[in-house]
Amino acid sequence: MILASKSPRRKEILNQLGFQLEIKTKDIEEVSEKENVVDQIKDISWKKVIAVAEENRDEYVVGADTVVEIDGVILGKPRTEEEAKNMLRSLSGRDHRVITAYSIVNLAKNIDITNAVESRVYFKSISEEEIKWYVESREPMDKAGAYGIQGLGSIFVDKIDGDFFAIMGFPINHFIKTLNNLGITIESLNKI
């Protein structure tokens, strides 16, 4: 299976289940003309995967995209430390939505599926000292919404409603159900 993502978290989640992964990515512009936020994320996920699948027609290609959304505003990966601090301030003491879309494509087998999983994350109030400490750790700089739920950012999370792994970047349970619907069993995972 080809993972069309450089995300170490996605690779780790899939490796834990025995997927034999080859990493191949294409640089695409991560924008969508879709109006609905969920449709936008699904579109971007699909674009990442199809760009790789077109050059690997006989292979299963999987990829994903994750965003944080609050008050209708999408928080992607921060470009600067100040942007990361502002994102964390906007999330402090509030709840927000995390949307992860994933796509699986095998052009030779006419498989082209994209789904999205939504979760809600509730943050405690974060002090300026905590924000400064966290941003200085550099952890938020490659994470949607400027935090990683599986790392140091976990100290900000009061509770979640939804799928922890989707918040982390790949909804593995949902993905396995999709594979099962395609007739791919857990026992055969390391063979695809």
Contact 69/19 with Cβ under 8 angstroms? no
**Structure letter (DSSP) for residue 125:** P
Active-site annotation holder among 27, 43, 58, 65? 65
Catalytic status, residue 161: no
The two tokens of residue 111 are 């498989």
**Which residue intervals of the chain are DSSP H helices?**
8-16, 37-53, 81-91, 128-136, 164-168, 172-181
The phi-psi region of residue 179 (left if phi > 0; otherwise alpha if psi is between -120 and 50; otherwise beta) is alpha
> Which residue's structure tokens are 């909804």?
171
Please give the full DSSP string across 29-69, using - where no structure is assigned. Answer: ------SSHHHHHHHHHHHHHHHHHTT-TTS-EEEEEEEEE
> Which residue's structure tokens are 């292979």?
59
Active site members: 65
